[in-house]
Structure 1
Amino acid sequence: MIRAVLALALVMAPTPSGDLDQTVDPGQVQASGRAVLETGHVDIGPRLHDGKWTIQIHDDHAVPSVWRDPAETVLRVRDTAELQVPDDESYAFLGSAPGETVHVVPQTEKPGVVWIGWNTQDPAVMAAISRGVTLNLRGVQGPGAVTVFLQSGNLGAPRVLWSSAKPYPQPLWVETNTHTHANWVFAKTGTYLLAVDVTADLADGSTATARTILRLAVGDSTDPADAFGATFTGPLPSAPVSPAAVAAPAAAGSNALLFVAIAVIATLLLVAALVWRQSTVRRRAGDTR
């Protein structure tokens, strides 16, 4: 069990910043035909191409890199991604018992495991959007729980971004020119469909939304053909989530901190004034003796 804990901690360590430095070539082509991606670097993200907003998969494992349509792409998570859930309350949010085997696409790249992230680095997107986009999980269909979380260091508390155990929609604010990787945990083997959308407030004042279904085949025993043929049949929220609504809580939190800081400073100044006044009174009392 100690080995399992160490293994999980190692693959969920933060990604070195240098590994996230990338530039997307505006001339990268749109690939055609079906593809099964089971190793190497891929990112999910918005793409503005020929005036049309879409969510696509940026396949950086291909040489040269290409964009792929999620409808024609299966992300295959092989058994090389298997890990045991540690006996640690910090990971109770996964919903799996300690010792259970799960498939983990880690925050840091692992040989033999597809490395799934997201980016807002399409040059046309960066030129069109105002501040960022909302990447929103609308639903999950599959044999087990799906959890996506970040962890900033082995001792840092996990930050859950998406969880199939929580109500939908689940919006995630992503700044312009962002490239991020997180931990993706799948509780069971089988075919998974993730319904996602991206909404952007554009610099011209309008709003753009695109939707897609991400297809994943988890486990060596899962045939990617099943993922290609699967259809999302569950209910989905209809209205997109506004980027302004997602970004607002962070701004409100910043204002709250500012007000607290002002209150603390005012209190300190008041205390200092009282101490100075008492000191002055005492000196004057000493002068009259």
Structure 2
Amino acid sequence: MATATPALAERPGSVPAAQPSPGLQQSIAADQPLATGRVTLATGHVDIGPRYVDDKWSLLIHDGTRAQPVWRDPDETVLRVSDAAVQTVPDDPAYAFLGVDAGKRVYVVPQVQNQDVVWLGWNTQDPRVMQTIDRGVTLHLLGVRGPGTLTTFLQSGNFAAPQVLWRSAGPAGQPAAQPFWVEVNTHTHANWVFTVPGVYLVTIQVSADLVSGEKVSATRTLRFAVGDATSTDEAFAATADVPGPGGPAPASDERTEGGDPSGGPGTLLLTALIGVAVLLAVALVVVLTRGAAAKRRAERERTASSPDGRS
């Protein structure tokens, strides 16, 4: 594995270049199991990524911290960001996007592995995912619940400017960055910066077009316990009521076809149109019935007024 490299420059005016890491050269076996039971991951290699579970598209945590990698349910996993992750924000305008004053201390899950800190990235390397998706997936930050701000960014080499991927707007805030595209068979790590310690719930959606023409989407919430003093039990107990586009983010996986999830806006519109059609039909029947009755009354009156009793 690569040696620990700071994500934020330690010297004013300098930007650290991310170095290639052997940890990015991985492949994932199709038979890697889905582990059960609660676990806290504080160090080692961890990815998030799409995978099929019981033929259903899902977003899981790939745990490579052990000799035999496994997949894990995000609801049963807490990512511990210990005090070993603390770094100082440099006096460099290139990092102004963090929204934190120079000299302040923040918690950083680095892009290049620090052996004392959990190493979080993402992959699209599950064999069935690679066989079924059309070119790649889209990762979307739906929202963040926590005491501070989360920023996720990439730092390439050659003194290039940081590339901001996601930035929350604070507690229960809307994300400030757009979704980004991840090609098939990709394995990437980034910098995750938390401004203050505490429990953070980070809701992420992964969606894709399949080669079959079907659209799939899954939304899950990552649980972070930032800082040594933050309770893991609190992180497990926290409720993922993070608002996303159009309302609260769903906690379960979704499968859609034709672009309209079951129970979504399209379904509601169809239901409303059917209701309007039923009301119009009832009104038409009432009008026709009243018209026929009025016609019969008029005929009876004409017959009664005729001298010979005929109309």
Residue pair 1:191, 1:226 contacting (<8 A) in 2 also: yes
Match for residue 136 of structure 2?
132
Distance 1:138 1:234 in 2: 8
Alpha-carbon RMSD across the aligned residues, in angstroms, is 2.3
Distance 2:208 2:174 in 1: 22
How many Å apart are 1:152 and its aligned residue? 0.7
How many Å apart are 1:52 and its aligned residue? 0.8
Residue pair 1:196, 1:212 contacting (<8 A) in 2 also: yes
> Which structure has the bigger radius of gyration?
2
How many Å apart are 1:20 and its aligned residue? 1.0
Distance 1:238 1:102 in 2: 31
Match for residue 172 of structure 1?
180
Correspondence 1:1-289 to 2 at 5 A: 5-6=9-10, 13-16=17-20, 18-153=22-157, 155-165=159-169, 167-168=174-175, 170-238=178-246
In the superposition, the TM-score normalised over structure 2's length comes to: 0.72
Match for residue 265 of structure 1?
none
The residue type equivalent to 2:20 in the other structure is P
Distance 2:11 2:36 in 1: 37
The residue type equivalent to 1:122 in the other structure is D
Deviations 1:168-212 (A, max 9, x none): 473111000000000000000000000111101000001011110
Distance 1:149 1:122 in 2: 24
How many Å apart are 1:122 and its aligned residue? 0.5
Residue pair 2:152, 2:192 contacting (<8 A) in 1 also: yes
How many Å apart are 1:18 and its aligned residue? 3.5
Deviations 1:69-91 (A, max 9, x none): 00000000000000010011110
The residue type equivalent to 2:81 in the other structure is V
> Which of the two has greater helix per residue?
1
Residue pair 2:9, 2:15 contacting (<8 A) in 1 also: no
Distance 1:76 1:6 in 2: 23
SS in 1 for 2:244: coil
Distance 1:51 1:214 in 2: 22
In the superposition, the TM-score normalised over structure 1's length comes to: 0.77
How many Å apart are 1:233 and its aligned residue? 2.7
Residues paired across the two proteins, number: 238
Distance 2:198 2:215 in 1: 36
How many Å apart are 1:232 and its aligned residue? 2.2
Distance 1:90 1:158 in 2: 7
Distance 2:130 2:72 in 1: 19
SS in 2 for 1:130: coil
Residue pair 1:10, 1:154 contacting (<8 A) in 2 also: no
How many Å apart are 1:234 and its aligned residue? 3.8
Using a 3 Å threshold, how does the CA distance of structure 1 residues 7 and 103 change in structure 2: closer, same or farther? farther
SS in 1 for 2:236: helix
Structure 1 stretches of 5 or more lacking a match? Answer: 243-289
Using a 3 Å threshold, how does the CA distance of structure 1 residues 8 and 126 change in structure 2: closer, same or farther? farther
The structure 1 segments of at least 4 consecutive aligned residues displaced by more than 6 Å after TM superposition are 7-11
Distance 2:61 2:70 in 1: 8
